[in-house]
C-alpha cells in the first residue's frame, strides 16, 4: 500500500491493483490502521453573528475546498450593544437553522450521523468570557443541543470596571486606546489581565476548545512587549498548565495570518512547542467569517505542526472526539 497527495485536501491510496481517490474520508486497512486526510473546520461564523453568509453557503464552500465536515460556532450573546455577537432572541433561530441541515427524522440530539445536506454538520458556539458579564457557558450547554463549545476572550475587564478592552478587530487604534484608558498604557498589566481572564474562564466553565489563545499579541506586533520576556512566558506557562490539567484542546487558529493582522498563528510556534511538550491536544481552525475562508492555511499549518513534532490532531465525529494522524 502507498499513498500520495495529489490535490487540495485529497489523498490517493493505492492498494495492489485498486485505487481509491478520497477527499476528507478515512480508510480502514485490514490491520485496523486508519489513514486519513480529514480536515474539518469547527470555528465558523455566519450571518447570525458577524459572518457574511447563511450556513448553507459555508457548507457548499467546505465541500468545494475538500473538507470532511464543518462546525458552526457563532458568537454567544452579550448583554450590551455590539456588532459581532448573536442577539439573545436569535439563539434558537441559529440553532434551528443548523439543525435543519441535518436528518429531518433525527431527534435533534447531538452528533447526528446522517445530515440532511449529505455533509456532516456540527452545532457549536464561541462563548465570550467576561467576568461578571453575560451568561455562564453552562447556560448555552444546558439550553441548546451544542456539539462543542469554544471559549474565548475578546474583551478584557480590569477588575470591577464596566469598561472593557477590545483586543480584536481590524483597527490597532482600538487596542491602543483601550490599553491607555483601562490600564494606563501599562502593557504588562493589560496582558496579565488577559491571561488571568482566560484562567478564570477555564476554572469556572466547561469548554472543549480554547480559542486563539495568544490573540493578545495581534495588535502588539512587537510594539509594547516581546513574547520572549520572562514575565510573558510565565503567564503563558500558568495558562498552559491549567489547560493540560483540565483536558481542554487548544485550537491552532489561522485567521490572524491570512487576514495579515499577525505574523504568526494563534498560538505561535514558540507556544506550540510548549503545547507539544505538555502533550496538549490541538485542533486546526480557520475562524472563518466568509465561506471562502473555511480552510485557509490548513495545509501550511499542518506542515508546521508536523515540523514541531505533532503527530496527531483532534477531530469531531458523529461518535464524539477522535484523534487523527497528522500528515
Whole-prediction pTM: 0.86
- Sheet architecture: strand order including 282-285: 40-41, 69-72, 121-128, 148-152, 209-210, 249-253, 282-285
Instruction: Give the single-character DSSP code of 116.
Output: T
User: Is 240 contained in some domain?
Assistant: yes
Longest dimension (CA), the chain: 69
DSSP SS3 for 284 = strand
**Residues 154, 219: contact at Cβ < 8 Å?**
no
Query: Residue 112 is part of which domain span?
Result: 40-311
User: Is 4 contained in some domain?
Assistant: no
pLDDT of 316 reads 96
**Residues 112, 106: contact at Cβ < 8 Å?**
yes
Question: What is the phi/psi pair of residue 86, to 5°?
Answer: -55, 145
DSSP SS3 for 198 = helix
CA 180 from centroid of its chain's CA atoms: 29
CA 135 from centroid of its chain's CA atoms: 20
Task: List the chain pLDDT tens, one digit each, 327 residues.
Answer: 233 333 333 333 333 333 333 334 343 433 433 334 579 999 999 999 999 999 999 999 999 999 999 999 999 999 999 999 999 999 999 999 999 997 554 444 344 343 456 789 999 999 999 999 999 999 999 999 999 999 999 999 998 888 999 999 999 999 999 999 999 999 999 999 999 999 999 999 999 999 999 999 999 999 999 999 999 999 999 999 999 999 999 999 999 999 999 999 999 999 999 999 999 999 999 999 999 999 999 999 999 999 999 999 999 999 999 999 987
User: Is 19 contained in some domain?
Assistant: no
Strands 10-15 and 2-7: antiparallel
**Residues 305, 252: contact at Cβ < 8 Å?**
yes
User: Is 249 contained in some domain?
Assistant: yes
User: Is 22 contained in some domain?
Assistant: no
Residue 104, CA distances (Å) to 96, 97, 117 in order: 11, 12, 10
User: Is 251 contained in some domain?
Assistant: yes
Give the count of domains, the chain.
1
**Domain holding 269: CATH number?**
3.20.20.140
User: Is 27 contained in some domain?
Assistant: no
Alpha carbons 327 and 307: distance in angstroms, whole number: 10
Alpha carbons 86 and 249: distance in angstroms, whole number: 24
User: Is 15 contained in some domain?
Assistant: no
Amino acid at each position: 500500500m502507498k499513498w500520495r497527495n495529489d490535490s487540495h485536501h485529497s489523498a490517493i491510496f493505492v492498494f495492489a491493483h485498486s485505487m481509491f481517490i478520497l477527499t476528507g474520508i478515512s480508510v480502514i486497512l485490514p490491520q485496523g490502521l486508519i489513514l486519513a486526510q480529514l480536515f474539518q473546520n469547527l470555528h465558523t461564523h455566519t450571518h447570525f453573528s458577524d459572518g457574511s453568509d447563511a450556513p448553507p453557503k459555508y457548507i457548499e464552500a467546505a465541500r468545494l475546498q475538500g473538507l470532511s465536515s464543518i462546525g458552526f460556532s457563532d458568537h454567544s450573546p452579550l448583554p450590551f450593544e455590539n456588532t459581532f455577537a448573536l442577539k439573545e432572541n436569535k439563539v434558537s433561530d441559529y440553532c434551528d437553522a443548523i439543525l435543519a441541515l441535518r436528518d429531518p427524522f433525527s431527534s435533534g440530539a447531538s452528533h447526528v450521523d446522517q445530515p440532511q445536506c449529505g455533509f456532516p454538520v456540527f452545532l457549536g458556539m464561541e462563548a465570550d468570557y467576561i467576568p461578571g458579564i453575560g451568561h455562564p457557558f453552562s447556560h448555552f450547554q444546558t439550553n441548546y443541543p451544542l456539539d462543542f463549545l469554544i471559549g474565548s476572550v475578546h474583551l478584557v475587564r480590569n477588575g470591577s470596571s464596566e469598561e472593557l478592552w477590545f483586543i480584536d478587530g481590524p483597527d490597532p487604534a482600538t487596542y491602543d486606546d483601550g490599553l491607555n484608558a483601562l490600564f494606563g498604557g501599562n502593557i504588562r498589566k493589560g496582558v496579565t489581565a488577559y491571561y488571568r481572564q482566560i484562567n478564570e474562564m477555564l476554572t469556572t466553565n466547561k469548554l472543549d476548545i480554547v480559542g486563539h489563545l495568544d490573540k493578545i499579541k495581534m495588535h502588539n506586533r512587537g510594539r509594547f512587549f516581546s513574547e520572549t520576556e520572562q514575565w510573558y512566558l510565565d503567564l503563558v506557562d500558568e495558562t498552559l498548565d491549567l489547560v493540560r490539567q483540565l483536558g481542554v484542546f487548544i485550537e491552532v487558529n489561522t485567521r490572524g495570518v491570512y487576514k495579515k493582522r499577525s505574523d504568526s498563528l494563534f498560538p505561535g510556534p514558540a507556544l506550540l512547542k510548549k503545547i507539544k511538550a505538555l502533550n496538549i491536544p490541538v485542533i486546526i481552525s480557520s475562524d472563518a467569517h466568509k465561506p471562502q475562508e473555511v480552510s485557509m492555511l490548513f495545509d501550511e499549518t499542518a506542515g508546521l505542526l508536523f515540523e514541531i513534532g505533532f503527530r496527531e490532531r483532534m477531530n469531531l465525529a458523529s461518535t464524539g472526539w477522535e484523534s487523527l494522524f497528522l500528515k
